[in-house]
Amino acid sequence: MRKLSWEEFDDCVDHITNKCLTRGFDGVYGIPRGGLCLAVALSHSLSIPIWDYPYPGCLVVDDVYETGATLKNIKNIPSVTVFVWFSKVIPDWWQAVEVSRSNDWLVFPWESENFAGSDEKMYRNLRGRG
């Protein structure tokens, strides 16, 4: 289990900001739940609004790419740029700040470390990896 810090979160936001600063996005959309924290921070650092829907040409962010299920419909939106903090597979059509092993359980700064074990168990049971 890897507990991530707010300092690491800030480094992630800085990384994405530097990659996107000259891209001219009109807005950012964060995949609920983990992508929302990134979207708020990037909205401030890039001076762009948060959108309630992923529009063509926008920046879309999420905390982690594991199976691709969450982002599968985003791929078909024209000219969307997708960043994730962590990818558990080698990025293909999305970009990742970091790539981690697929079995790493990540605890993000906004998550409760007290519930991380039960969250991991539930996730793995739902996906038949318990």
- Give per-residue pLDDT as tens, 16-28: 999 999 999 999 9
For residues 27-46, give the mean pLDDT.
Answer: 96
Report the number of distinct structural domains present in the chain.
1
Residue 120 sits in a domain whose CATH number is 3.40.50.2020
Its domain, for residue 19, covers 2-126
Strands (E), the chain: 2-3, 28-30, 59-65, 81-87, 95-99, 106-107
To 5 degrees, how large is the angle CA 6–CA 118–CA 101?
A: 60
Q: Look up the pTM and report it.
A: 0.88
